[in-house]
Copies of this chain bind each other. A is one copy, B any other.
Amino acid sequence: MIQNQNFYIKIIGNSSAIPTSGFHLSGQLINIHQNFFLIDCGEGTQIELIRNKTKYHKIDNILISHLHGDHFFGLPGLLSTYNLMDRTRDLNIYCPENIQDYIEYSLQTSHTTLKYKVHYHILSTSGKNLIIDSERFRLYSFPLDHRIPTCGFLFEEKERELNILKSFVDKYKPEIEDIINIKQGKDYNHKGLIIKNADITTKPKAPQSYAYCSDTKINDQIPQYIKGVTLLYHEATFNNSLHEFAIEKYHSTAADAATVAKKANACQLLLGHFSARLDDMKQLKEEACEVFPNSEISKEGYLYYPKRAD
């Protein structure tokens, strides 16, 4: 099956807190219509971005979910590497707490002066907020439920215009203004003869969406923020037998993640942010599938495509 190369998620790291042999710390590369985002940047993220031959130099926006070290200690290294690569393009960093002082202090300690500009944006943790509104998509942040201020992120493709049939264009040679009107759903008036829009257009691809929820405990508000999301990445730090840890540490079990996916009416659930205590991913998947059948264990280095089940 040919996947939509205009919207994918590459998992860079999906381990929690302590890296384990084979799992790396939180990091994801998102490509949405050739806009490249990095979500979280745990230590070693730049190394995995390089090893996985990603287009990491194209990243212009970095979204940090929260200030626990496993989600941002990789930033000074990545920013320094951009500097060594003579980056000149501006970079945006979004975070629910002040991260600017830490970055600047790290760079200063390492005798580094950046040749490019970094813009810092502090995210609100009150309700759902539109961060970026571009031609092809919208990006929102929304609060998660963790021990410190934490944000989730939602990428939503915009509804696309109708496709006009080539045979119609060839036959009637409509003006630019007519084309714009038809793409927006209007009928075509050919010398008094009304041609129905439905007869000369096809529907565009359905817009897809992707939500990132890590780190968080299960929370009733979250499904409201991501209603109908196509692909949901939700942390599943623990399995059912470690349920008490999840409550104590403000994390989720796989079943919690599945409950959020179900309540949000998501199409697909991707589990991640695994604890070093877990040794059986099959069990984790089973526990999620009992609640929400279309659940999957995320794999580092793999691409995932938000796609509505046919």
Contacts and interface: CB of A to CB of B under 8 A. Distances in A.
Given A18-B84, A21-B53, A81-B18, A69 B73 contact: no
A76 interface: yes
Given A47-B44, A84-B17, A106-B106, A111 B73 contact: no
Interface stretch (A3-11, A97-105, A235-243, A297-305): A97-105
A81 B76 CA distance: 18
Contacts of A84: 17-18
A76 B77 contact: no
Nearest to A66: B111
Interface residues of A, number: 40
Contacts of A50: 18-21
Specify how many copies of this chain sit in the oligomer. 2
Contact of A21 (B44, B51, B73): B51
B111 A68 contact: yes
A43 interface: yes
Contacts of A74: 43
A109 interface: yes
B18 A85 contact: yes
Nearest to A98: B109
B19 A46 contact: yes
A133 to B, nearest CB: 30
Interface in A97-156: 99, 101-102, 105-107, 109-112, 147-148
B21 A67 contact: no
B68 A47 contact: no
A46 B67 CA distance: 19
B110 A69 contact: yes
A47 B73 contact: no
Contacts of A85: 18
A219 interface: no
Interface of A: 17-22, 24-25, 43-44, 46-47, 50-51, 53, 67-70, 72-74, 76-77, 80-81, 84-85, 99, 101-102, 105-107, 109-112, 147-148
9 closest Cβ pairs, A-B complex: A69-B110, A43-B77, A102-B109, A44-B44, A69-B80, A19-B47, A73-B77, A44-B47, A21-B51
5 contacts: A43-B43, A43-B46, A43-B76, A68-B111, A69-B107
